[in-house]
Amino acid sequence: MIIAIDGPAGSGKSTIAQGVARRLGLSYLDTGAMYRTVTLLALERDMSLEDDDALGAVAEQMPLHFQDASRGAPPVYVGERNVSEAIRRPEVSRAVSQVAAHPNVRRALTLRQRELAAAGDIVLEGRDTGTVVCPSADIKVFLTASVEERARRRALQLREQGVEVEPCSLERELLLRDGYDSGRALAPLQKAGDALQIDTTELSADVVIDLICEVAARAAGDGRLPC
């Protein structure tokens, strides 16, 4: 079974994808973490965020791997270094859309993501998992939420990391990122034609997880998916 969950920042992708993976006993892949890792390395090396060739080389060569985790997101490593917290810093969030728009970066990471998904029994989350990475995924979900709610969620996440940011400032950043991600020519953020769209603004994560798992159970009951 392959489940692809896409949507804009703050729509609940990570929490819900991890919850679905735990509930169904599937692997979990955060494709966005891979783009964030390239962005972090580029910023640390003072690289030009306009240099597609150089950024593509980073994406292709970086020794990135995910460690197993019984709960939550698997820790992200570059070699022996745990970058799980560093890739969530505000400066990375502000730059990741620009880095992710480069063809060589997307080509390198999409290849890695497809290789990881090839074994099956996985939940992928990102912005193009149902349209580009795994267009034949068994189940596709597109999450949305109001920008106000998304900013509120992101502010809470940052506060947990010791970073205080005004929600109104985050709203502006999210809208800019939405425009960038949706308007790029290569692998834009968009709903797959056969994806289930869920507005999570007023729904708890558990309710959305229940809904997706019910869809998976019905599909398995139809004999179309292994369970």
In the three-class reduction of DSSP (H, G, I as helix; E, B as strand; rest coil), residue 5 is classed as strand
Residue type for position 97: S
Distance, in Å, from the CA atom of 166 to the CA atom of 188, rounded to the nearest integer, reads: 28
| Nearest-angstrom CA–CA distance, 224 and 106 | 31
Read off the pLDDT of residues 176-219 as tens digits, 9 standing for 90 and up: 988 888 988 888 899 999 999 999 999 999 999 999 999 999 98
**67 Cβ partners below 8 Å, 6+ apart?**
74, 75, 77
How far apart CA 112 and CA 73 sit, in angstroms, is 18
Q: Tell me whether residue 39 is in a domain.
A: yes
Which pLDDT score, from 0 to 100, does residue 69 have?
Answer: 57
Tell me which residue range forms the domain holding 167. 2-214
- Among 140, 142, 137, which residue's Cα sits nearest to residue 118? 137
Q: Which amino acid is at 179?
A: G
The enclosing domain of 144 has a CATH number of 3.40.50.300
Q: Which residues pair with 82 in a beta bridge?
A: 77
pTM as predicted: 0.89
Q: Is beta strand 64-66 parallel, antiparallel or unpaired with respect to 76-78?
A: antiparallel
Model confidence at 71, pLDDT cuts 50, 70, 90, reads low
At 226, the pLDDT band (50, 70, 90 cuts) reads very low
224 within a domain of the structure (yes/no): no
Residue 8 lies in a domain: yes
Containing 114, the helix (H) or strand (E) segment is helix 103-117
Instruction: Classify burial at 10, counting beta carbons within 10 Å of its beta carbon; exposed 0-12, middle 13-18, buried 19 or more.
Output: buried
In a domain, 37, yes or no: yes
Structure tokens that stand for 164 in this block: 């205080």
Q: Classify residue 220 by burial, with Cβ atoms within 10 Å: 0-12, 13-18, 19+.
A: middle
Domain assignment present for residue 63? The answer is: yes
Q: What is the tally of structural domains in the chain?
A: 1
pLDDT digits 0-9 by tens, 14-60:
999 999 999 999 999 999 999 999 999 999 999 999 999 999 999 99
Q: Are 198 and 144 in contact (CB under 8 A)?
A: yes
Give domain status of residue 87, yes or no. yes
Banded model confidence at residue 227, pLDDT cuts 50, 70, 90: very low
The answer to whether residue 220 sits within a structural domain is: no
In a domain, 160, yes or no: yes
